[in-house]
Amino acid sequence: MSSLAATPPGLLRQYLVLTKPRVTQLAVFCAVIGMFLATPGLPDMQRVVAATAGIWLLAAAAFAINCLIEQQVDARMLRTARRATAQGTISTFQVLSLSSLLGGVGMLVLYRWVNPLTMWLTFATFVGYAVIYTVILKPHTPQNIVIGGLSGAMPPALGWAAIADSVPAEAWLLVLIIFIWTPPHFWALALYRTNDYARAGLPMLPVTHGQQFTRLHILLYSVALLATTLLPYIIGMNGWLYLIAALVLGLMFVRYAWRLYKNYSDELSRSMFRFSILYLSLLFGALLVDHWLIVGT
């Protein structure tokens, strides 16, 4: 307790920023939805709490490693230049210690109080994001976010595995939805940050193929996303309430993409990026509400 009390509040905040808490929250939210969808009734709440904590800790550890690996890239980007790793105010040893502590505790929690399947799937997701995406894909291919998006799409499967000790087709369908959602979500950000990515030397799609090409692909992926989100209803996994939510939200998403394609502006791109986060939250919320309505009937 004394060493913690002696830690400067500013340093604690810097550590927190390295774990990308807002991104982590959305990922963990999708994992929790997967937990509640994995059983007809309420899941074991002790296991839900343990799985949420374990997944959160490992996600935070992966983001800290990501910041460490990309510290030189981050220093060249306006959006990330204030990170402690980019400014050199936190050492490599400190980041590795933080990530090891968070990741180690997370794996212990998942193994001891959830199940080994969830632990190994979450660890594989950690490796997929922190190593395969950050080290191999992001600096070398404009398709980085497409291929590497699988690791970011895994939370529903992790949550499902935590409760059911298995990952059936329904869980992978939720993974597919996030997998298709990720490119238009991220490319909307990349469009109004193109100069940042070019300065950092990262081959993001707007940098390598231009704005018009990227806008077209955002539109195509948005249409594919709308079609993909109808699959839970088509296979009988969810009912009418989810279908209506998926159609309304999906058409709004496509409308943003169409406007972006026809008449681009940085402000519209920012708006689409912000809406994409709200979109995913509302869509998964609708999955849960509809699931409970079906169970109750």
- Residues 197-228 pLDDT 10s: 999 899 999 999 999 999 999 999 999 999 99
For residue 179 the two structure tokens come to 């997998």
Rg over alpha carbons for the chain, rounded to the nearest Å, is 20
CA distance 67 to 76: 13
**SS3 (DSSP) at 154:** coil
In eight-state DSSP terms, residue 39 is: S
CA distance 78 to 177: 31
In the prediction, which pLDDT does 2 show?
A: 39
Residue 224: Cβ-neighbour burial (10 angstroms; 0-12, 13-18, 19+): middle
For 9-167, give the CATH class.
mainly alpha
For residue 77 the two structure tokens come to 């980007």
| CA angle centred on 137, ends 70 and 201, rounded to 5° | 55
Quote the pTM value.
0.92
Domains of the chain, by residue range, sit at 9-167, 169-297
In the prediction, which pLDDT does 297 show?
A: 54
In the prediction, which pLDDT does 295 show?
A: 63
In the prediction, which pLDDT does 246 show?
A: 98
- Fold exhibited by the domain 169-297: Four Helix Bundle (Hemerythrin (Met), subunit A) (1.20.120)
In the prediction, which pLDDT does 1 show?
A: 38
In the prediction, which pLDDT does 4 show?
A: 39
Q: Show the low-confidence residues of the chain (pLDDT under 70).
A: 1-9, 295-297
